[in-house]
């Protein structure tokens, strides 16, 4: 008898589960996602800062899963789940399942200050990355034509809120843009006048890394012209300013990388939620009491044997997707499910070209060797040979030309890709949307 498996979400967890279940006898898979492309989020900040194009990190889900004849991909939004009736409610109707995998990810959290979002976009979707890129480049255009020095200073001030990996990588990339790329393309802008501030409420940036590496990252950011403000909670954000404690900073561009929360779907499921509103799961990644419902990736709050809830990282999501798919196959064969055992493969963050930190637990790297390791790992996990080759060549050319003091590749690519025609996310080609309109993360 064929078992119907529904996967909600085409991120790292959902895609891994689908691949493991692909072409397995007695299994029919339906993957539902709001977008028709898989997004490699670890490199999203490079799209936001014009280092890469959107097509480099977004690949059609149908193309990725085309070799699996038992997998159907549907673009749509899931609004609820009837656990007792084993049905999923979507914007195109109801679907029945034998096994359900929820892997919807998370969205940005503004800690109850949702009015800040229009003035400080987050970085979770392709649309948000393109909106951030538009704001950064528009700020330089305003500064180029401004005759009032106060207006120019405001346009050349960039504030990134949040000292985690995303905030650090975003601030470092903006630092490189202002020093090596955009400053050379304008006539009335002095790159030295650009002010980049990374604001962190805690006592140090990259708090999940050892203190020594956190300090190294701070020094590397400062070498790129980034001011690092720790113990500095944000108290207000407006269209042309941000308040950090009692200090007001005039700026046109505020970028948010400070917190995450679960999707709205979680609140309507009637299940137990934990940290950041993520769904509490048991040892086998099931919703407690429901062997047919699994939760994976950022949507799941899984507590390891040490009592620590696993972080929202792609290695966690990939391993959980693998475990869930294998447990479904075991259940299909009449075998007992096995508990999830996470293998921590370390963490890494890059701070511009040739600067990074890597923590593998048993050994740590920083500087050029860490950056090279970061580069190779990300190239390996990118979907599609063409994407890997494109990104590798762009990074190589960017690094080599920058060392000679010339324009780096991103200085040209942002002008080219912003001229491309907009495409419909649901068109027949399966290409990701290139719309630059800002949409609220969900």
User: Which amino acids are annotated catalytic?
Assistant: 169
Contact 161, 258 (CB under 8 A): yes
Place of tokens 């200085």: 411
Tell me how far the alpha carbon of residue 35 is from its chain's centroid: 14
CB atoms within 10 A of CB 82: 11
d(CA 324, CA 279): 15
d(CA 295, CA 320): 9
d(CA 245, CA 233): 6
Q: Beta strand 241-244 with 234-238: parallel, antiparallel or unpaired?
A: antiparallel
Q: Beta strand 347-350 with 87-90: parallel, antiparallel or unpaired?
A: unpaired
d(CA 264, CA 322): 25
């Amino acid at each position: 008898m064929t078992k119907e498996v529904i996967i909600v979400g085409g991120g790292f967890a959902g895609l891994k589960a689908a691949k493991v279940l692909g072409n397995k006898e007695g299994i029919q898979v339906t993957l539902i996602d709001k977008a028709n492309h898989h997004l490699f989020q670890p490199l999203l900040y490079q799209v936001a800062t014009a280092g890469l194009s959107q097509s480099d990190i977004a690949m059609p889900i149908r193309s990725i899963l085309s070799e699996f004849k038992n997998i159907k991909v549907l673009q749509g939004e899931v609004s609820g789940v009837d656990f007792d009736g084993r049905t999923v409610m979507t914007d195109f109707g109801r679907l029945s399942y034998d096994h359900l995998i929820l892997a919807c990810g998370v969205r940005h959290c503004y800690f109850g200050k949702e009015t800040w979002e229009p003035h400080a976009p987050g970085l979770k979707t392709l649309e948000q990355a393109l909106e951030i890129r538009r704001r950064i480049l528009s700020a330089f255009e305003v500064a180029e034509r401004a005759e009032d020095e106060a207006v120019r200073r405001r346009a050349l001030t960039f504030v990134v809120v949040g000292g985690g990996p995303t905030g650090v990588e975003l601030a470092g990339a903006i630092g490189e843009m202002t020093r090596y790329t955009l400053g050379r393309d304008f006539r009335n802008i002095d790159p030295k006048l650009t002010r980049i501030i990374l604001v962190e409420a805690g006592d140090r940036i990259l708090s999940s890394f050892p203190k020594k590496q956190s300090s190294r990252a701070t020094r590397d950011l400062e070498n790129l012209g980034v001011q690092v403000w720790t113990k500095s909670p944000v108290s207000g954000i407006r269209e042309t300013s941000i308040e950090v404690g009692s200090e007001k900073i005039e700026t046109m561009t505020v970028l948010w990388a400070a917190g995450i929360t679960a999707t709205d779907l979680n609140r309507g499921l009637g299940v137990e939620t934990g940290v950041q509103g993520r769904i509490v799961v048991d040892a086998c990644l099931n919703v407690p009491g429901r062997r047919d419902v699994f939760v994976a990736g950022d949507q799941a709050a899984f507590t390891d044997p040490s009592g620590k809830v696993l972080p929202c990282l792609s290695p966690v999501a990939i391993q959980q997707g693998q475990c869930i798919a294998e447990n479904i196959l075991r259940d299909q064969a009449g075998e007992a499910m096995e508990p999830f055992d996470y293998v921590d493969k370390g963490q890494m963050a890059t701070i511009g070209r040739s600067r990074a930190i890597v923590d593998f637990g048993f050994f740590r790297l920083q500087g050029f060797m860490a950056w090279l390791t970061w580069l190779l790992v990300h190239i390996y996990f990118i979907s599609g040979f063409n994407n890997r080759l494109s990104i590798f060549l762009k990074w190589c050319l960017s690094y080599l030309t920058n060392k000679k003091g010339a324009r780096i590749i991103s200085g040209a690519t942002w002008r080219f890709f912003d001229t491309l025609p907009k495409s419909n996310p649901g068109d027949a080609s399966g290409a990701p949307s290139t719309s630059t309109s800002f949409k609220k993360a969900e």
